[in-house]
Structure 1
Amino acid sequence: MRRNEAEFAAFVAARRPHLRRVAYALCGDWHQAEDLVQTALAKLYVAWPRIHKAGAEEAYARQVIVRANIDESRRPWRRERACAEQHDRPVAADISVEDRSELVAALQQLTPMQRRAVVLRHWLDLSVEQTAAELGVSTGTVKAHTSRGLANLHSALNVDASALRRTR
């Protein structure tokens, strides 16, 4: 039993910041992101022996975060609003703070499903099939929402989509 707890604690210490950033990208609120991660970790703890044996800890936690976010968006009257916004420590990145802030703001303008599809596909680099499985939708739905979401991001960021394709 102690070994499972030690392995779980090590996983949480290593992956919690990443899971929190994933949750923030999905919901756009640091407090709600923390709640989503806490929900995911509580469910992961209960299922730890089975999930750890299969080596699917990260995928399980991500799936709980995505589904908890979906549940939360379906029950807006149950949401709590924080009065002060909490910020993470700055992360070293190749883009400027202004560009990163603009990107996060543009992500929040997408519909929830478009935002989920874009974050899972392009930020977490999941395949269409993996994204469909995590969202519980068909691959065609993932492709449609990803395409629309990227088009909306390009518009919001004033990015020429043809220029983007040439740089890839």
Structure 2
Amino acid sequence: MVPTRHDGRDGYLAFVESHQHRLLRAAYLICGNRHQAEDLLQEALLKLALRWASVRDGDPAAYVRAILYRDAVSWWRRRRREWLSATPPDRATHDRDGALRLTLHDALGLLPPRQRAVLVLRYYEDLTEVATAEVLGVTVGTVKSQCHAALRRLREAAPDLAQNTRAGQGTADLATGVEVNP
């Protein structure tokens, strides 16, 4: 019997298995909440499954990323409220890199959704300005201005990150690849 392309093994399962962890990390960086990131990714992969026949020959990862970022922004717009930090403010840590990761995570959480999405796409996903603009459905100029404003806010919110980056330690890269000092 000849296998059909409708048995679910025409590349979709392989794609999900090979990309889900990276996409989950990106979703987490965008929303800052593991449970919400899992929900966003699950919805994005469902949307991909429904469109797999028309997307599989192109760039399915880009398609899923666009869904992730657009759905995350839509979610934020519907539920604008204060976010509680996952880590208590009085938590002591002896892990310098872990402390910097927490600082970066908290600083990213202070950014508006579009600025946070731009930083994650540009520096974590390593997309060009043009590709970032396409994913977010905005102009390249908007990507540039949002990136500039976001980096400025990160420097203000977390001066320790900028200080460590200037010292050549590259610790901002440890969490997301975001360079605080462009």
Q: In 1, Cα distance between the equivalents of 2:24 and 2:98?
A: 19
Q: Which is greater in Rg?
A: 2
Q: 5, 9, 12: which one pairs with 1:5?
A: 9
3-state SS of 2:9 partner:
helix
User: Could you say which residue in structure 2 is the equivalent of 1:31?
Assistant: 35
Residue 152 (str. 1) matches residue 153 (str. 2): yes
User: Could you say which residue in structure 1 is the equivalent of 2:52?
Assistant: 48
Shift of 1:163: 2.9
Q: In 2, Cα distance between the equivalents of 1:12 and 1:65?
A: 14
Deviations 1:51-89 (A, max 9, x none): 1122x1100000010111111112128x9x9xxx7xxxx
TM-score by length of 2: 0.74
RMSD: 2.6
Given that 1:40 and 1:65 are in contact with CA atoms closer than 8 Å, whether structure 2 keeps it comes out as: yes
Q: In 2, Cα distance between the equivalents of 1:110 and 1:154?
A: 12
Shift of 1:160: 4.3
Shift of 1:157: 2.0
Shift of 1:4: 4.7
User: Could you say which residue in structure 1 is the equivalent of 2:78?
Assistant: 75
Shift of 1:24: 0.9
Q: In 2, Cα distance between the equivalents of 1:162 and 1:10?
A: 38
Residue 18 (str. 1) matches residue 22 (str. 2): yes
User: Could you say which residue in structure 2 is the equivalent of 1:107?
Assistant: 108
Judged with a 3 Å threshold, the aligned counterparts in structure 2 of structure 1 residues 164 and 43 are, in CA distance, closer, same or farther, namely farther
**Greater Cα offset, 66-75 or 35-44:** 66-75
Judged with a 3 Å threshold, the aligned counterparts in structure 2 of structure 1 residues 109 and 6 are, in CA distance, closer, same or farther, namely same
Q: In 2, Cα distance between the equivalents of 1:53 and 1:5?
A: 14
Q: In 1, Cα distance between the equivalents of 2:154 and 2:9?
A: 42
Q: In 1, Cα distance between the equivalents of 2:107 and 2:125?
A: 18
3-state SS of 1:44 partner:
helix
Q: In 2, Cα distance between the equivalents of 1:6 and 1:131?
A: 29
Q: Share of identical aligned residues, percent?
A: 35
Q: In 2, Cα distance between the equivalents of 1:164 and 1:156?
A: 18
TM-score by length of 1: 0.80
Show structure 2 runs of 5+ residues with no match.
87-95, 171-181
Deviations 1:1-59 (A, max 9, x none): 256535211111111111111111111111111111011100111111211122x1100
Show structure 1 runs of 5+ residues with no match.
86-94
